[in-house]
Chain A
């Protein structure tokens, strides 16, 4: 019973990381998508280059890299930061992990957003334009919902991958679900904690799958 409680705590941290990543990565991803599509060549090249680097290297590496940034780039040891901010080392590590996660996922999302936006036919924009709409109005009233509908399948895939990726947070000893389960295996000399952890992931992803199914169904009232 004790084990389950510990696992539940780990799962809480998993959920927190999941939620922070989603909430931050969606708007940031949209911003990156717009930069990548920008008419200003410099901006779009920089943005696409950045996305290329992030998508081309392991998240694990990015987590470590982020945790090295303060000391190696700014010459401030991590200890100085968490003492200075009055937080614990594990909180600081969690912050590093969260930053790496949302930057990484923002890049993946941005490619999905860009693909979705670019897949909308030029005719939709032009129809809006000749009907006197502003660019904003066209985006929010005409294009957005069509994009949302188109990107739902790849977004659900990515979000389900995110659930499983949260276990990479253990790299900085963040006590998320997998980390807790692996420790419990050592302490209790039993494989059960890992089985339970697997069930947690499975259950949560099951719920997400149902949710995405509902959203896709809701958007099935039109075709484009």
Chain B
């Protein structure tokens, strides 16, 4: 079974039909590169996958769990979407690091906030449990105190884990020595690497990159592409929108060429780059080689 199934996604903004029916599947561990000229709908597709835009029609499935089905309105409530988003990660073109937090804190904070939500939920469960037991007042309070201690112990342990994990991720993107730097003290390439570590920290099933190097000076793209390449493994499934053709060819298992909101061509890197069938793909590739 494919890890990701995308069926007939369409999206229009007012009169502009930006996505005109996108279908593809992705196996676990695969890297999909999406190429295409600007305005072809690549960003919009990634935003739909991350629920930053609501597709007009279509279906998004991870494994056998339907995350989005345009026919079924119940799948699009706020809280629902928040949890569903966690299946996907998104690395933005312009990083969007949180400026008031250090590199390490940027990676920690989403995890900490998820922990907060989890503990809030645990607190409710604990209360439920206490009430259901119908304890005499004395035992009730003993129970309450014990549960509270339990929760705060749990929180402490998890915070240590979170910090460890975040430091390991920083190391993995080559920034172990920049943990306490604020975003403005980092180069664009370093900021983007922090953003990648931040997205990885939540273990998304599918990690999406939207032109991760196009906001960078040319001499900084290499370090970021190298990090992304290094993430490729049998467990990490990625979608990379990019203008770096050489990179796409090297790292991708599957390539999609998008034009005017449709998948004009899909295939292996060899098929799409070396033997493109569609004239539009041929023209685009010829252009981008110049």
Is there a chain B Cβ closer than 8 Å to A72's Cβ? no
Q: Mark B168-183, 1 if CB is under 8 A from A, else 0.
A: 0000000000000011
B182 touches A130 (CB 8 A): no
Q: Mark B85-117, 1 if CB is under 8 A from A, else 0.
A: 110111010101111100000000110011011
In the complex, what residues of A have CB within 8 A of residue B100's CB? 145-146, 149, 222, 224
A126 touches B96 (CB 8 A): yes
A133 touches B110 (CB 8 A): yes
Report the bound CA distance from A131 to B117 in whole Å. Answer: 13
Most A CB atoms within 10 A — which of B100, B183, B199?
B100
Number of A-B contacts (CB under 8 A): 67
Which one of A130, A133, A222 contacts B52 once the chains associate, using CB atoms below 8 Å?
A130
Given A130-B88, A131-B110, A132-B202, A223 and B96 touching (CB < 8 A)? no
Q: Report whether over half of chain A's contact residues are helix, strand or loop; otherwise say mixed.
A: helix
Report the bound CA distance from A137 to B110 in whole Å. Answer: 9
Is there a chain B Cβ closer than 8 Å to A141's Cβ? yes
Q: Mark A126-159, 1 if CB is under 8 A from B, else 0.
A: 1111111111010001100110010000000000
Report the bound CA distance from A127 to B202 in whole Å. Answer: 13
Is there a chain A Cβ closer than 8 Å to B50's Cβ? yes
B92 touches A123 (CB 8 A): yes
Is there a chain A Cβ closer than 8 Å to B254's Cβ? no
Is there a chain A Cβ closer than 8 Å to B226's Cβ? no
Is there a chain A Cβ closer than 8 Å to B140's Cβ? no
Given A123-B94, A221-B182, A130 and B50 touching (CB < 8 A)? yes
In the complex, what residues of A have CB within 8 A of residue B117's CB? 134, 137
> Which chain A residues (177-201) contact chain B, with CB distance < 8 Å?
none
Is there a chain B Cβ closer than 8 Å to A124's Cβ? yes
Report the bound CA distance from A223 to B184 in whole Å. Answer: 6
B113 touches A141 (CB 8 A): yes
On B, residues with C-beta under 8 Å from A are 50-52, 78-79, 82-83, 85-86, 88-90, 92, 94, 96-100, 109-110, 113-114, 116-117, 182-184, 198-199, 202
Which 4 A-B pairs have CB atoms at the shortest separation, nearest pair first?
Answer: A131-B110, A127-B96, A224-B99, A123-B96
